[in-house]
Amino acid sequence: MAEVFVALGTNLGDRAANLARARAALAAGPLQSLAASSVYETEPWGPVPQGPYLNQAVRGTTALAPRALLAALAKIETELGRNRKQEMRFGPRVIDLDILLYDDLELMEPDLEIPHPRLLERAFVLVPLAEIAADRVVHGISVRDALARTGTKGIRRLEPQPPDA
């Protein structure tokens, strides 16, 4: 079993429900022993005007090889309403699931890079990841130290909702 970290993001529709559905699909399918960070509201990133995101990171174990895990994440995205053919790059999305880390594997293929190629540059990924893996080292730098370099401007931790909310 490989230890993996996945980033979740959403800024369309019921964002909290989108994250909850994604976590449930991950736990019911490709990931076991799921642990999740808090949910953070973040300013949108990229050149397309859009609303704020909710972001989260999860840790789990999987028996799937990296490419099979990527396919499983894409299937979950589609089941939750994502249509990559109709969306704009860096634009709004109902759900986005990205493999951040897969054990200590380093992989560079045209459509799959592990660790995620922009992991150490994006505070909206580093903040939730630091909550569950602050000491994890990526390309010689800890997640905590990478976060200290990027800062946390525009990121707000959401308070957990009561179970009946």
Determine whether 96 is an active site residue. Answer: yes
Supply 120's token pair. Answer: 């150490």
pLDDT at position 46, please? 76
CB 122 within 8 A of CB 45: yes
What sign results for the dihedral spanned by CA atoms 14, 19, 24, 29?
positive
Number of C-beta neighbours around residue 142 at 10 A: 15
Determine whether 98 is an active site residue. Answer: yes
Q: For the chain, give every domain's residue range.
A: 2-157
pLDDT at position 165, please? 44
CATH architecture of structural domain 2-157: 2-Layer Sandwich (3.30)
pLDDT at position 132, please? 97
pLDDT at position 47, please? 83
Question: Checking phi first, is residue 26 left (phi over 0); if not, alpha (psi -120 to 50) or beta?
Answer: alpha
Full pLDDT tens readout for the chain, 165 residues: 999 999 999 999 999 999 999 999 999 999 999 899 999 999 997 788 899 999 999 999 999 999 999 999 999 999 999 887 787 777 789 999 999 999 999 999 989 999 999 999 999 999 999 999 999 999 999 999 999 999 999 999 997 755 544
pLDDT at position 77, please? 95
Active-site pick, 21, 23, 59, 82: 82
Determine whether 82 is an active site residue. Answer: yes
Determine whether 14 is an active site residue. Answer: no
Active-site pick, 67, 98, 111, 118: 98
